[in-house]
Amino acid sequence: MITASNLGDILSPSVDPEKIAIIGVDAGQSETILTYGGLAARAHAFARGLVRRGLKRGDRVAIVAANRPDYIALMLGAMQAGIVPAPVNFKFPKATIEHVISDSGARAVFCDPARRDQVADGVEAIDFDGPGIAEWLDAGAFTPVVPEEREPALTLYTSGSTGRPKGVLLSHAAHLWVVRTRMADNDLSDDRVLIAAPLYHMNALANALLALASGATVVLLPQFQARSFIGAIARHRCTWATAVPPMIAMMLREKEALADADLSSVRVVRMGSAPVNDTLSGQIRELLPNARIINAYGTTEGGPVVFFSTGDEPTGSVGKPHPGVELRLVGEEAPDKGVLQMKSPAIMLGYHNRPDVRSPITDDGFYDTGDVFRRDEDGFYYFVGRTDDMFVSGGENIFPGEVEAVLETHPEVLQASVVPVDDDIKGQKPVAFIVRKPGSTVDEQAIKAFALENAPAYQHPRRVWFLDQMLLASTNKIDRAALRARAEAELKAS
């Protein structure tokens, strides 16, 4: 059990210092290996180096880089020194990156060579691979600061899909609770955990912290690429992995790589960002025959501990409420359907520097997620959709997720995404983008007819377009804004 009070101090002294902590695989497939002893020393060196360079407790440092072992070492070291790291989504436009760095108040920005030009002139940029990094490292032991109860440990920025990105302030106490709670639910000490999602995202970062606190080995890829992901599982015998539906769809297309790969080592795959339906479940079992599928849910503001898997939940369910979390559904159809509100020790401190944004924390301490769920008679919860995604067509409320769930039951559909477009009569109407299963020739009329047969008429997509793969946002989630823009362009051109 973790006894530390500082989130940067999660490495257990009981783990063999010679055990491999991180295998960092770069874009050229070269590997950087850090043992637990080496990672601890590197984190201490960053902590001492930041202090030596004049940074003080409460100061910020930004990180604009792809996943790499030093990314994690810097974050741990900064937090040990009471300095707040702010990972930056490097897939943002340069102007947005500049805004995030400025908004965070970062006194220094650490980057990799590929992203150096995304850091504005006039900001001190330290290249992880450059000679200047030595000035920010000071070898030796370091005693982590003891944080105050509500002292920020790190700042994660939202995707900015509904406005400019917001800095979510997360405390040491909150995310130590997350790590401890997840360790009690999962023994990862003998696992090899594959992480390909970006460390600026809660999913990847929380899993990295969990794995390292557990004494597991992290196999860290710079980003998700289907062939690299398949190769990493096979080469390193990864046992635990996280994924989102578009990743599975892209992996299925790599027939040659799959033919030569043994993926039987994976015993757990944690799915996020979209429900796991029967079709997707079948695809995962085809790829990872020995894996238990966990349909996960979490948010940056509320953390990754919300539901727990009972092992016998119905397909598509995220499970039942975690014992350490209070949940409620609010709205006209509550308590069986409504917007999810949650209360737990993991809830954010607030948004950094955003007095203009209404707090999603209720007066009685619940975080309003803005996500609609339903609950069945056995107490299992199912994600329905974002309130932000819901649209009205001819007076009927349509959640894209409900329509997508129907379309994905079609035997020739691999993946579906539904977005609204403007309509002179209905106000808005649904259209769909479909990724077919390999070898399928299903056409637009067949999809529309299937929707009419299996869902209310007002939900059926008025137009259907086919893609080789879904358009993805920087977090590997489906980019609904880009799909909507594409739909409007297609309609305008037709």
Reading the block at residue 448, the tokens are: 């529309």
Instruction: Determine the average pLDDT of the residues in 8-28.
Output: 94
Q: What is the pLDDT of residue 143?
A: 97
The answer to whether residue 376 sits within a structural domain is: no
The pLDDT of residue 427 is: 83
Report how far residue 314's alpha carbon sits from residue 18's, in angstroms, rounded to the nearest whole number.
42
Whether residue 479 lies inside any domain: the answer is yes
Asked whether residue 59 is assigned to any structural domain, the reply reads yes
- Residues 318-349 have pLDDT tens digits of 999 999 999 999 998 999 999 999 999 999 99
CATH assignment at residue 245: 3.40.50.12780
Based on the domain organization, do 362 and 400 belong to the same domain? no
User: Is pLDDT above 80 for 207?
Assistant: yes
What's the mean per-residue pLDDT of the chain?
Answer: 91
The whole-number pLDDT of residue 134 equals 96
Beta bridge partners of 171: 152
Q: 382-408: per-residue pLDDT in tens?
A: 988 888 888 888 778 888 888 998 999
Helix (H) or strand (E) holding 387: none
User: Same domain for 356 and 446?
Assistant: no
- Number of independent structural domains in the chain: 2
Is 378 within a domain? no
pTM, to two decimals: 0.86
- Give, in order, the Cα–Cα distances in Å from 317 to each of 273, 294, 382, 383: 13, 9, 5, 7
Report how far apart the first and last C-alpha atoms of the chain are (Å, whole number).
61
Range of the domain at 195: 7-371
Show the tokens assigned to 224. 């998700």
Q: Are strands 367-375 and 337-343 parallel, antiparallel or unpaired?
A: antiparallel
The residue out of 339, 371, 403 marking a domain boundary is 371
Same domain, 262 and 146: yes
Confidence at residue 484, expressed as pLDDT on a 0 to 100 scale: 92
Q: What is the mean pLDDT of residues 358-387?
A: 92
pLDDT exceeds 80 at position 473 = no
